[in-house]
Amino acid sequence: MPPKGRIRLSNMRDVRRLISRLISQLLNDELDPKTALTAGQLCALLLKTMDYTSIEDRLEMIERSLEMKSQSTPIKSDVISKIRELKSLSDSVGQ
In a domain, 78, yes or no: no
pLDDT at 43 over 90: yes
Nearest to 17 by CA among 25, 9, 27: 9
Give the chain's domain count: 1
pLDDT at 46: 95
Within a domain: 53: yes
The whole domain housing 47 covers 12-67
pLDDT surpassing 60 at residue 11: yes
CB 37 within 8 A of CB 45: no
Instruction: Decide if 28 is inside a domain.
Output: yes
Spatial distance between the Cα atoms of 18 and 15, rounded to a whole number of angstroms: 5
User: Tell me, what's the pLDDT at 5?
Assistant: 73
Q: Band of the pLDDT at 41, cuts 50, 70, 90?
A: very high
% helix, strand, coil for the chain, step of 5: 80, 0, 20
